[in-house]
């Protein structure tokens, strides 16, 4: 198993992921872990064809992702795992994902969310999930593109948002 990046990004697989991170890390596969996409045929088809740079794509729900991990999938590939929310990242970790840090890439503006970085807007639920991830001993590194500076997200999560 060779997971080279786990990224939270509400755009799921898009240019910054497949082109910027994919090329930087020479990723051979992008694994999208998202129940809604995995269970909606047209969305699944859309994302399965998404990679412009030629990486293979897998679309799995959280349960399926856990099963693949347990079966020892992707041992010989450099894999980027993409989830759409802190909640899904925490679920993936609960399902056996083992990684030292999670990249927080894009959580865009939405009603009821507060800006903590120009590309990271969160609400109290997000904050709690992120803190739960940090409590597992996983670093939270905010960075939209590879050449940007990484920002430790934990100090920005000190205040309640509700």
Partner 1 sequence: MSDPRKKIGCVIVAHGKVGECLINAVQGILGSQTGCLAVSNAGLGLPELTDAVRRSIEELDRTHEVILVTDMPGGSCHHVCQALLGERSDLHVISGVNLMMLLEFFIKRDRNERSDLIALMQERGRDSVRVQ
20 belongs to the binding site for partner 1 (CB under 8 A): yes
Q: Determine which residue in the list 25, 131, 132, 145 makes contact with partner 1, applying CB under 8 A.
A: 145
103 belongs to the binding site for partner 1 (CB under 8 A): no
Q: At what angle do helices 62-70 and 86-94 cross, to 10 degrees?
A: 30
Looking at the Cβ atoms of 52 and 70, the one nearer to partner 1 is: 52
64 belongs to the binding site for partner 1 (CB under 8 A): no
φ, ψ (nearest 5 deg) of residue 29: -150, 140
28 belongs to the binding site for partner 1 (CB under 8 A): no
Q: Determine which residue in the list 146, 150, 151, 161 makes contact with partner 1, applying CB under 8 A.
A: 146
Q: Which stretch binds partner 1 (CB under 8 A): 15-23, 76-84, 95-103, 108-116?
A: 15-23
Euclidean distance between CA atoms 90 and 76, whole angstroms: 25
136 belongs to the binding site for partner 1 (CB under 8 A): no
**Distance (Å) of CA 22 to CA 17, 26, 122, 126:** 6, 6, 26, 26
Comparing CA positions, the residue from 149, 137, 143, 162 lying closest to residue 21 is 143
Q: Determine which residue in the list 3, 5, 16, 27 makes contact with partner 1, applying CB under 8 A.
A: 16
23 belongs to the binding site for partner 1 (CB under 8 A): yes
Euclidean distance between CA atoms 114 and 39, whole angstroms: 30
Euclidean distance between CA atoms 106 and 10, whole angstroms: 6
Residues that bind partner 1 (CB under 8 A): 15-16, 19-20, 23, 49, 52, 144-148
């Amino acid at each position: 198993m060779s997971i080279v990046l786990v990224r939270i990004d509400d755009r799921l697989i898009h240019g910054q992921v497949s082109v910027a991170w994919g090329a930087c890390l020479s990723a051979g596969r992008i694994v999208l872990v998202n129940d809604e996409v995995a269970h909606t045929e047209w969305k699944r088809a859309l994302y399965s064809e998404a990679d412009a740079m030629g990486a293979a794509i897998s679309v799995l729900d959280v349960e399926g992702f856990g099963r693949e991990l347990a079966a020892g999938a992707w041992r010989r590939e450099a894999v980027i795992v993409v989830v759409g929310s802190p909640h899904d990242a925490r679920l993936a970790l609960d399902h056996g994902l083992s990684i030292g840090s999670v990249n927080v890439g894009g959580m865009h503006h939405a009603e009821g969310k507060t800006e903590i970085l120009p590309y990271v807007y969160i609400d109290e639920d997000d904050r709690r999930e992120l803190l739960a991830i940090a409590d597992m001993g996983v670093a939270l590194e905010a960075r939209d593109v590879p050449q940007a500076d990484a920002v430790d997200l934990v100090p920005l999560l000190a205040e309640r948002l509700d």
